[in-house]
C-alpha cells in the first residue's frame, strides 16, 4: 500500500491510502476536496471512499463537496459523532477493505470528540501497518479534551493505540510536532530521544517537509501523554496515577505559551 500526504489549510493533513495492485484509494479527512482529487489523479488512483476521523469542520468539512465531485462515494464516520455528509457509520471493531490488499480497522478513540475514530490500516504481508489518528494522537501530543475526560484519553492513547504493533506508522491530523516536542521537553528536560527528535523536526520544517509519520515506538519514547506510567514524570507533577498525570500534563499544555 502507498500513503500520500495532502497538506490542507494552515497545518492540516489529509491522506490518500492507495492499494497499489488496483489503484483503489481511500482518503482520510479530505477538507480540501479539489486538492485531494488532484493528488489522486497524480497517483493514477481512484477514490472509493472517505474515512472521517471526527466531526470538526477542518476534518469533515469537505465531505459534502467530495460527494458532489465523486458521485456515489461512501463517507465513513464514527457512529457517535455527527459527521457531515456521513453515509455509513462505523463503530469500534468494524472492518473495511480497499482494493486487493488493504484492510482497515475502525478504533473508537474518544475524548477530543465523543465519536472520534482512528483507522488502523494493514497491507500485504511484510508491509508496515499505519494508523490514522486524527486529533486524538499527535506526534508528541494529543488533542484537547473537548468532549471527554482524562480517563477516556488514557484509554484511547495508552490502551487502544498503545496496543498496536510498535512499528506502526502514525499519521495524525495536524503539523504540531515542533511545538509539541518543545512542550515535551518541559516535562522531561533530560529525555535525549525528545531532544534528538526536536532537532530533526525543526530541520524538516525549515525544509518545508512533514514531520509525519511517526511510529508508535517513537511516541512511547517521546510523547508525554503516552509516558504517564513513568514514575519520574508522576513524581515531578505530584501525581499518583497515570490518569491524574495525563490530566495534569494536559492542563499544563493548555496553559503553556511556548
Three-class secondary structure of residue 59 per DSSP = helix
What DSSP state is assigned to residue 129?
A: P
The residues carrying an active-site annotation are 54, 56, 58-59, 112, 135, 174
**C-alpha grid cell for residue 118?**
482512528
Give the angle subtended at the CA of 187 by the CAs of 186 and 191, to the nearest 5°: 90
Distance of CA 100 to the CA centre of its chain: 24
Backbone angles phi, psi at 18, to 5 degrees: -120, 130
Burial class (CB in 10 A: 0-12, 13-18, 19+), 173: buried
CA angle (147, 172, 236) in 5-degree steps: 70
Amino acid at each position: 500500500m502507498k500513503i500520500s500526504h495532502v497538506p490542507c489549510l494552515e497545518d492540516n493533513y489529509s491522506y490518500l491510502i492507495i492499494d497499489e495492485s488496483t489503484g483503489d484509494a481511500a482518503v482520510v479527512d479530505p477538507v480540501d476536496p479539489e486538492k485531494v482529487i488532484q493528488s489522486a489523479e497524480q497517483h493514477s488512483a481512484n477514490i472509493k471512499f472517505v474515512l472521517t476521523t471526527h466531526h470538526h469542520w477542518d476534518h469533515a468539512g469537505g465531505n459534502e463537496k467530495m460527494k458532489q465531485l465523486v458521485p456515489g462515494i461512501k463517507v465513513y464516520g464514527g457512529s457517535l459523532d455527527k459527521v457531515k455528509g456521513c453515509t455509513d457509520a462505523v463503530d469500534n471493531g468494524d472492518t473495511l477493505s480497499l482494493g486487493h490488499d488493504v484492510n482497515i480497522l475502525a478504533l473508537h478513540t474518544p475524548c477530543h470528540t465523543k465519536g472520534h475514530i482512528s483507522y488502523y490500516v494493514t497491507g500485504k504481508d511484510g508491509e508496515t501497518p499505519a494508523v490514522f489518528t486524527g486529533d486524538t494522537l499527535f506526534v508528541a501530543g494529543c488533542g484537547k479534551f473537548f468532549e471527554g475526560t482524562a480517563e477516556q484519553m488514557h484509554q484511547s492513547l495508552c490502551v487502544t493505540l498503545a496496543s498496536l504493533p510498535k512499528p506502526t506508522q502514525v499519521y495524525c491530523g495536524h503539523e504540531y510536532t515542533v511545538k509539541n516536542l518543545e512542550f515535551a521537553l518541559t516535562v522531561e528536560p533530560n529525555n535525549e530521544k525528545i531532544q534528538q527528535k526536536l532537532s530533526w523536526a525543526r530541520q524538516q520544517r525549515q525544509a518545508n517537509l512533514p514531520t509525519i509519520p511517526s511510529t508508535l515506538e517513537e511516541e512511547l519514547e517521546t510523547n508525554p501523554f503516552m509516558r504517564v506510567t513513568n514514575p519520574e514524570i508522576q513524581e515531578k507533577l505530584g501525581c499518583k496515577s497515570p490518569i491524574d498525570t495525563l490530566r495534569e500534563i494536559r492542563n499544563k499544555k493548555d496553559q503553556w505559551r511556548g
